[in-house]
Structure 1
Amino acid sequence: MSFQTTPVRRQRLQRSMLAVPGSQPRFFEKAAAGAADVVFFDLEDSVPPDSKASARRDVIAALNELEFPQKRVSVRINGLDTPYMYRDVIELIEQAGDQLDLILVPKVGCAADVYALDMLMTQVEQASGVRERIGIDLLIETPLGIQNIDGIAAASPRCESIVFGAADYAAAAGIQTDSIGGPSADYQVLASAGSDGRRQAYWGDIWHYPLSRIVAAARANGLRPVDGPFADIRDPEGWSASARRARALGFVGKMAIHPSQVADANALFRPAPADVEQAQRVLDAMAQGEKSGAGAVSLDGRMIDIASIRQAQATVEAAELAAAKDP
């Protein structure tokens, strides 16, 4: 076990992360009353330039006027390379800072991007008297972001999660895919001919590398890895395969672009009863060992290390949060 330990970050449910266009107020109330763990109002991609200011005003009004029971509220601001970003941050925090849990920052490319945002947020929070520090969700959407992801993940104590943006990543990397978050029929391996002369084609996963890098950087820094959207809402089977792949890799949730995807995400990313039971056994064994004064504790013939204890604590806490929200 390394002498360097992973920092303990704030635990939140982020199984489902519902996107709501900031320029479409008719969707706001339904999203606020829905079952998503996190609702994020989008001021970036879904809002045309001539509607940026009005969308910002509408989102601020929603933050102040609507109730968001048992969920966290985030806003995706415009990129740091745009003339809209600074007004997004200042007006959101000055006018609705106490109602805002998270800021989702798009196309993070390097640690300096996060530092700059953190500095601005800190100054506005202090000047506005915001009571609780607002967190940052990092949206990785470019090869530059993947290249610098380790520094990005460690750039600020505000950072809480890393979210993958498949659409912009595909565009920036030149990836050819059939749909956002979906597979590509061209990314396959052709096996050697069998005894019958036929050659079997095996599809590969074009997203495996960036997803694996995101999980590694997130976990090493105590952040939550969240998978990006699956755009074809007419293909629930494809969505399920995408979400299960993400869960298998270590993701804790998935972005939803339609309310119909929320319930499935909540169910799929809820800790399994067997995992919760095993985690509780680890914690119980450790508690018993401490009570008896044992210098080392084992369970089922294996030593319990610090990493196992932290993982068990996170699993039990996530299960408790999920049970309180949707028993």
Structure 2
Amino acid sequence: MTTRLRRSELAVPASSEKMIRKAAASDADLVFLDLEDAVAPADKEKARELAIRLLNELDWGQRVRAVRVNDAQSPWAHDDVIEVITRAGQNLDVLILPKIKAPRDVWFFETLVDQLETKLGLTRRIGFEILIEEAEALGRVEELAGCSPRLEALILGFGDLAASLGFRYGHVDDPAQAYPGDPWHHARARLVAAARSHGLEAIDGPYPLIGDTDGYRTQAIWASTLGATGKWAIHPSQIDPANDVFSPTEQEVTIARHMCAAQESSAGAAAAQGALVDAATTRLFGAVLDRAKLIEERTR
């Protein structure tokens, strides 16, 4: 599986050339042009044309280039995949698949992309990220995580999942009736475990209160603590907090290097900085160093 940096995934309506151009020059690790919820039905085909043109025209630097297509049950999904890949496949890294309920939904897209890559002679495999935003998907998330070799990440889609689960107050609780704790803890933990068990990234979903940077950061920290490696940004102001939270600090990198060095110099378990260092500990700290290296390569 291709390893990509996904600390921040910036959502951009595919119908706005101004916003797409701004996103292509942003600090987001991944930018996805949204053909689904951000575009009205009457504008779907026009937005698709704009997305294709700007994927080909703009300098995207080292950002991951993605498109969120319409869901498999919609009348636009088929043409989204065929048109975007046929005309801009060489400048596309990832497709984001919404409203997934079962493996068959993923296989629909997988079959199309398999055929297109072969027909067009594309040499770089296009990856998938799937949105877990339906009750059916959350109930089968472990199965979904292993259903396609194209999968690179699972994303927790709060808005639609809140509706599908019947959350009384939607994604953000009424402060007067706040749930005692994080109502998304179970979904987050289950998605992270499913993703990790299949070598996938776990991405936390959007935070709708654009002006509440502290709230966004708090949610990102909670997700990161559970093992998520990135979060959606629905506004450029959310990019920096995401990049910051999902990057190891200098202190974390220093400690990780020290711990790994202590283990390498020992025949078995060792003690360093008052803590036990063994193979399991090194595995944890080794992941920190791997992530730091990926970030360094991205920011050169």
Distance 1:310 1:155, change over 3 A: farther
Which of 103, 107, 113 does residue 115 from structure 1 map onto? Answer: 107
Which of 125, 134, 137 does residue 142 from structure 1 map onto? Answer: 134
Mapped pair 1:303 → 2:295: no
Alignment gaps of 5+ in structure 1: 1-8, 189-202
The question of whether the paired residues in 1 share the 8 Å contact of 2:55 and 2:91 is answered with yes
Q: Deviations over 1:221-252 (max 9, x none)?
A: 11111101111112222212211111111111
Partner of 1:34: 26
Partner of 1:11: 3
Q: Deviations over 1:136-170 (max 9, x none)?
A: 00111011000110110001111111111111111
Matches within 5 A, 1:52-91: 52-91=44-83
Partner of 2:240: 263
Distance 1:285 1:302, change over 3 A: closer
Mapped pair 1:247 → 2:218: no
Q: Deviations over 1:249-286 (max 9, x none)?
A: 11111100000110111111101234323443455456
RMSD: 1.9
Three-state SS of the structure 1 residue aligned to 2:72 is coil
The question of whether the paired residues in 2 share the 8 Å contact of 1:12 and 1:318 is answered with no
1:39 Cα deviation from its structure 2 partner: 0.1
The question of whether the paired residues in 1 share the 8 Å contact of 2:93 and 2:126 is answered with yes
Distance 1:313 1:129, change over 3 A: farther
User: Distance in 2 between the 1:313 and 1:10 partners?
Assistant: 19
Alignment gaps of 5+ in structure 2: none
The question of whether the paired residues in 2 share the 8 Å contact of 1:225 and 1:252 is answered with yes
Three-state SS of the structure 1 residue aligned to 2:153 is strand
The question of whether the paired residues in 2 share the 8 Å contact of 1:187 and 1:205 is answered with no
User: Distance in 1 between the 2:213 and 2:242 partners?
Assistant: 11
| Sequence identity (%) | 38
The question of whether the paired residues in 1 share the 8 Å contact of 2:29 and 2:63 is answered with yes
Partner of 1:193: none
User: Distance in 2 between the 1:309 and 1:117 partners?
Assistant: 38
User: Distance in 1 between the 2:51 and 2:192 partners?
Assistant: 31
User: Distance in 2 between the 1:283 and 1:175 partners?
Assistant: 44
**Paired residue type of 1:76:** R
User: Distance in 2 between the 1:311 and 1:57 partners?
Assistant: 44
1:204 Cα deviation from its structure 2 partner: 2.0
Distance 1:109 1:309, change over 3 A: farther
The question of whether the paired residues in 1 share the 8 Å contact of 2:262 and 2:277 is answered with no
Mapped pair 1:46 → 2:6: no
TM-score normalized by the length of structure 1: 0.84
Q: How many residues matched?
A: 295
Three-state SS of the structure 2 residue aligned to 1:234 is coil
Mapped pair 1:276 → 2:247: no
Which of structures 1 and 2 has the bigger CA Rg? 1
User: Distance in 2 between the 1:279 and 1:213 partners?
Assistant: 27
Mapped pair 1:95 → 2:87: yes
Which of 105, 120, 125 does residue 128 from structure 1 map onto? Answer: 120
